[in-house]
Amino acid sequence: MVAMSRTATAALKTLGAQIEIARRTLGWSIDDTAARLGVNPRTVRAVEHGRPTVGVGTAFAYADLVGVRLFGLEADDLVRARRLGEETLALLPARTPRPARTALDDEPGF
């Protein structure tokens, strides 16, 4: 597993809390939510606790199910943001060139 930064950990915990608040506001139990989402109740709890082992697709599907806005955007705005990202990526080179080596690269570090 990748080492988690403070920012990534905070983001996972924040999303988890928002999802749990939305689930509780809807009056859904963990078991009911798991059935609606098609996952195990442990997965529901893992998302709500911000555990990094849960797949991002599962977390996003859960957020959508309970009405949590992803990236602070409404559904239509999220689609527009995705299209803008795709258009931007289409303008970038397919490969990222390696930086040119310099004589200093061969020097031992201090």
Tokens 């989402």 sit at which residue? 37
Mean pLDDT, residues 50-66: 97
The predicted pLDDT at position 2 comes to 79
Compute the distance between CA of residue 108 and CA of residue 101 in angstroms, rounded to an integer.
14
Compute the distance between CA of residue 70 and CA of residue 79 in angstroms, rounded to an integer.
11
Average pLDDT over the chain reads: 92
pLDDT above 70 covers what percent of the chain? Answer: 91
Confidence class of residue 97 from pLDDT cuts 50, 70 and 90? confident
The predicted pLDDT at position 75 comes to 87
Query: What are the helix (H) ranges across 49-102?
Result: 56-66, 75-91
Helices (H) and strands (E) in the chain, counts: 5, 0
Helix (H, G, I), strand (E, B) or coil at 46: helix
Which domains, and CATH codes, for the chain? 6-91 (1.10.260.40)
